[in-house]
Structure 1
Amino acid sequence: MPSPTSFASPFHGLWIPLVTPFKDGDVDHAALHALTTRLRADGVAGFVACGSTGEAAALDKEEQLQVLQTVLEAAAGLPVVMGLSGYHLGQVTAQVQQWAQLPLAGLLVPAPHYIRPSQEGLLHWFRAIADASHVPLIVYDIPYRTGARLHTETLLALAQHPNIRAIKDCGGDPAKTQALIADGRLAVLAGEDAQMFTTLALGGAGAIAASAHWQAGRFAALIAQVQAGQLAQARAAWQELQPWIALCFAEPNPAPLKALLARAGWMRNELRAPMMPASPALEQRLQTV
């Protein structure tokens, strides 16, 4: 069995699941480009376009492609992963094939939402998408959004597929997290920001962290400290970051994050319905950040 640090995966370090800025109802590509450029200089390993933080469900297919193209341009060679979700397998695999010519580092793929298939159905879903894809998959284990829970045995079976290389771990099961890290075939990326330190200390490969839009360099340094065994420094850094992480998820993501980024002048505080901006009370608390 490989050790937790021996997997051959391109997915490690700090990844930013980018918000999608809006301006008067349309995607604000200038703000998105500037945001990606700014974060690129802060020690991030790569970017995720059109994830849940990016309000991808509120974007049509053409808008998603345009967002991806803007991020690819601004990333300037840093790897970019594209979010991909749905519940019609034929349409999803067709989308994968349409993206075959794009310079993607991978696809972030959750279970099909709403359907709640069996474990055998989930195996079929991810294997079919991995077979169709020219780039590796990150399995997005997030049952509170999809309604489908991936069992440890299912994930270990998926790890046998050569094109399934990582997991964004939002499953809420510490035993499953530990089992996957111990197995070593999938790079385990913390997907719940509040669990980042624990996952890293257990041997996780990194994090896909929305809260790291703000002071990304501190999050990147935290990951480097844990992986270098500098736990005293990392614990101190983590304690300082926790109040911000708590505020970032005090209301549905990405509303708090967009409120802060708007206050910093990086974009407008605009979301697409049914997502709503952060409450005035939370905006007041965000001023302390």
Structure 2
Amino acid sequence: MSNFRGIWIALVTPLRANEVDFAALEKLVKKLLAEGVTGFVVCGTTGEAAALSKAEQLAVLDAVLGWVEPGRVVMGLSGYNLGELLAFQAEIQQREIGGLLVPAPCYIRPSQAGIEAFFNTVADAARVPVILYDIPYRTGVRIERETLRRIVRHPRIAAVKDCGGDSETTMALIQDGHAQVLAGEDLQIFNNLCLGGAGAISASAHVHAELYVRMLQQVDQGDWLAARGTFYQLLPWVKMAFVEPNPAVVKAALQLQGVIGDELREPMQPCTQATRDRLPGVLGLPAAL
């Protein structure tokens, strides 16, 4: 089974004048690599993939592959038109990548049998490992525990990005051992590690990534007390990162640090001034003049 253990960044897509800002993207990726992250999920929710054309998504993927080893790059793949999704999957898989992150089809709310058939079809067509993205508050449909446990037995499904909000399901998946379980809700990263999970696919880890990496290393060393301290050090920022629709606050924080701009593609909006005014204190940065 592929090893996805680590801190993965759910990568934002920097924009300038409504176009992808590749210079800022390179600066961001190289900064995060230097801070020790395991890899990147490109064109997921945080990357505003739903607002990017297929051509833009592939251009972002190709750019990141120019800076990062292929095994450390996962590509988001989502949709509810199965034929179009499989065609895009085939196009993505012309590149060497580490995996695909795939949520259940949104909007159409299929049955449990339909969800299982969907993931089996995508996994059958995969030539790279698949990370199942369980995020019912975005897709509109919950993948029931037993459905998940069956789906992850597919040999191409290597991991779950766990945003389901059900600790019993999380524990069952970890205990079964058929797929690695990565926290997708950043408040659950420490819990995930303590329960035996594999790490996280995190949006907030764009900021202070070195602390997220340190927390995982402390767990691996059995230093639970130190890991807990690191988590509580991060907690004010983790909470702050999601007070407005993601990735608005993350982009604002990165702008404050001089890494990228804070532009989002409509209908997403930059974070409010009230949130922006609180960021320096939360990030440990000097207040803006």
Is the TM-score greater than 0.5? yes
The question of 1:17 aligning with 2:41 is answered no
Q: What residue in structure 1 maps to residue 56 of structure 2?
A: 63
Runs of 4+ with deviation above 3 angstroms: none
Q: What residue in structure 2 maps to residue 243 of structure 1?
A: 236
Cα distance in 2, alignment partners of residues 265 and 112 from structure 1? 36
Q: Which of these residues, 204, 208, 212, is aligned with residue 201 of structure 2?
A: 208
Q: Which of these residues, 258, 264, 281, is aligned with residue 274 of structure 2?
A: 281
Amino acid at match of 2:188: Q
Pairing 1:154-233 to 2, within 5 Å after superposition: 154-233=147-226
Q: What residue in structure 1 maps to residue 287 of structure 2?
A: none
SS at match of 2:110: coil
Going from structure 1 to structure 2, the CA distance change for 1:78 and 1:278 (only over 3 Å counts) comes to: same
Offset of 1:9 from its aligned partner?
Answer: 2.6
> Which deviates the most, 227-236 or 174-183?
227-236
Say what the alpha-carbon RMSD is for the aligned residues: 0.9
Offset of 1:79 from its aligned partner?
Answer: 1.0
Going from structure 1 to structure 2, the CA distance change for 1:78 and 1:134 (only over 3 Å counts) comes to: closer
SS at match of 1:44: coil
Offset of 1:78 from its aligned partner?
Answer: 5.4
Q: What residue in structure 2 maps to residue 4 of structure 1?
A: none
Q: Which of these residues, 248, 260, 264, is aligned with residue 253 of structure 2?
A: 260
Cα distance in 2, alignment partners of residues 216 and 140 from structure 1? 22
CA contact (8 A) 2:161 2:181 kept: yes
Going from structure 1 to structure 2, the CA distance change for 1:76 and 1:182 (only over 3 Å counts) comes to: closer
Cα distance in 2, alignment partners of residues 268 and 100 from structure 1? 31
CA contact (8 A) 1:45 1:78 kept: no
SS at match of 1:287: helix
The question of 1:234 aligning with 2:227 is answered yes
SS at match of 1:74: coil
Amino acid at match of 1:231: W
Offset of 1:97 from its aligned partner?
Answer: 1.1
Cα distance in 1, alignment partners of residues 150 and 266 from structure 2? 38
CA contact (8 A) 1:225 1:234 kept: yes
Q: What residue in structure 2 maps to residue 270 of structure 1?
A: 263
Cα distance in 2, alignment partners of residues 71 and 17 from structure 1? 13
Amino acid at match of 1:204: G
Q: What residue in structure 2 maps to residue 100 of structure 1?
A: 93
CA contact (8 A) 1:17 1:54 kept: yes
Cα distance in 2, alignment partners of residues 20 and 181 from structure 1? 31
CA contact (8 A) 1:255 1:278 kept: yes
Offset of 1:226 from its aligned partner?
Answer: 1.6
> Which deviates the most, 59-68 or 265-274?
265-274
CA contact (8 A) 1:34 1:74 kept: no
The number of aligned residues is 282
Cα distance in 2, alignment partners of residues 95 and 242 from structure 1? 37
Cα distance in 2, alignment partners of residues 39 and 226 from structure 1? 21
CA contact (8 A) 2:40 2:72 kept: yes
CA contact (8 A) 2:2 2:129 kept: no
Offset of 1:227 from its aligned partner?
Answer: 2.7
Cα distance in 1, alignment partners of residues 13 and 127 from structure 2? 25
The question of 1:150 aligning with 2:129 is answered no
Amino acid at match of 1:21: P
Q: Which consecutive residues of structure 2, in runs of 5 or more, have no partner in the other structure?
A: 284-289
Amino acid at match of 1:212: A
Cα distance in 1, alignment partners of residues 210 and 280 from structure 2? 20
User: Equivalent pairs: percent with the same residue?
Assistant: 52
Q: Which of these residues, 41, 54, 61, is aligned with residue 48 of structure 1?
A: 41
Pairing 1:58-97 to 2, within 5 Å after superposition: 58-76=51-69, 79-97=72-90
Q: Which consecutive residues of structure 1, in runs of 5 or more, have no partner in the other structure?
A: 1-7
